[in-house]
Amino acid sequence: MGTALRTPAPRPELYRFSRLDYLTAGLYVAVAAFFAVFGSLLAPLMLRLSPNPAVASYSVNLIFYGGIGILALAAVRRIAARDLRVLATRPWFSLLMVPLAVVAMMILTAILVAVTGPPQTSANQAGLQALMQQVPAWLMVPLLVIVGPFVEEYIFRHLLIGKLSRRVNVWVCAGLSVVLFAALHIIGQEALALPVLMPYLAMGAVLVFVYVWTGKNVMFSYFVHASKNLLAVIFLYAIPPDVMEQLQKVQG
């Protein structure tokens, strides 16, 4: 597959796993697994942060993603700076292709969900909706639009494809990225159904495609991911909770 952007001369040293990569990825996996297994047992401790469960959940997620985000930024800073310079040489490309990629993601999601069955709300999505009813948008944007997508693009695109593909076939890495990205978002789902899984598979597939297509430009895939999340935040905050509840009943 050709690339959409003219990338600089390859620098193999930038795509070798560093100790900081291992530390960041290991911490990310360990904490995510810990909360997946013991999340219910930690509820009393989380409530010590705030008597409001939503605020406590937001605080824990912000601390987790904020800490991982700092490590990820330190680990990927040279590649991120290079990728931003590449995008700056083609500003029209980002302005046009980022929204088109988001639209493609939505179309692919609609097709896959339509094929597999009626739409269903995942536990992850339901939790976010409940959180947004009690946490203002100006607090959710840093978590869902800025920090969260950056961490996930670093883990699932830069590490799993950009770096791992030096040792494993790139298409194997791409498939692994899509599957693990979707798995992250359905952890805690009591009953796994294809309509629940499909939106995350579609999102992961589009993000993998744009990452590889742009010559492994992690900042471009980050902008696509962040734009999709921003659109979701705007949508969820724009629709009154009672209307959203009615929509979910219709879907069910």
Give the pLDDT score at 9. 56
Q: Which domain holds residue 97?
A: 12-251
Q: Give the integer Cα–Cα distance in Å for 36 and 44.
A: 16
CB-based burial label for 49 (10 Å; 0-12, 13-18, 19+): middle
How many alpha carbons lie under 13 Å from residue 104 in its C-beta half-sphere? 15
Residues 31-40 pLDDT 10s: 888 877 766 6
Residue 172 belongs to a domain? yes
Q: Which of 221, 200, 186 is nearest to 86 (CA)?
A: 221
Q: Confirm if 45 and 193 have CB atoms less than 8 A apart.
A: no
For residue 12, pLDDT beyond 90: no
Domain tally for the chain? 1
pTM of the model: 0.89
- Identify the weakest region by mean pLDDT among 12-16, 22-26, 199-203: 12-16
Sign, CA dihedral 75-77-78-80, equals positive
Residues 210-246 pLDDT 10s: 999 999 999 999 999 999 999 989 988 887 655 555 5
CB-based burial label for 69 (10 Å; 0-12, 13-18, 19+): buried
Residue 1 belongs to a domain? no
Residues 72-130 pLDDT 10s: 999 999 999 999 999 999 999 989 999 999 999 999 999 988 888 766 666 677 777 77
Residue 87 belongs to a domain? yes
Residue 5 belongs to a domain? no
Residue 70 belongs to a domain? yes
Return the percentage of the chain with pLDDT > 90, whole number.
Answer: 54
For the CA atoms of 163, 209, 87, 70, the dihedral, rounded to the nearest 10 degrees, stands at -50
3-state secondary structure of 89: coil
DSSP-based helix, strand, coil % in the chain, nearest 5: 80, 0, 20
Residue 3 belongs to a domain? no
Residue 214 belongs to a domain? yes
Residue 78 belongs to a domain? yes
b/e per residue, 130-160, with b = 16+ CB within 10 A?
ebbeebeeeebbebbbbbbbbbbbbbbbbbb
For 147-171, what is the mean pLDDT? 96
3-state secondary structure of 188: coil
Residues 46-71 pLDDT 10s: 666 666 777 777 888 888 999 999 99
DSSP string, 11-72: -GGGGS--HHHHHHHHHHHHHHHHHHHHTTTTHHHHTTT-SSHHHHHHHHHHHHHHHHHHHH
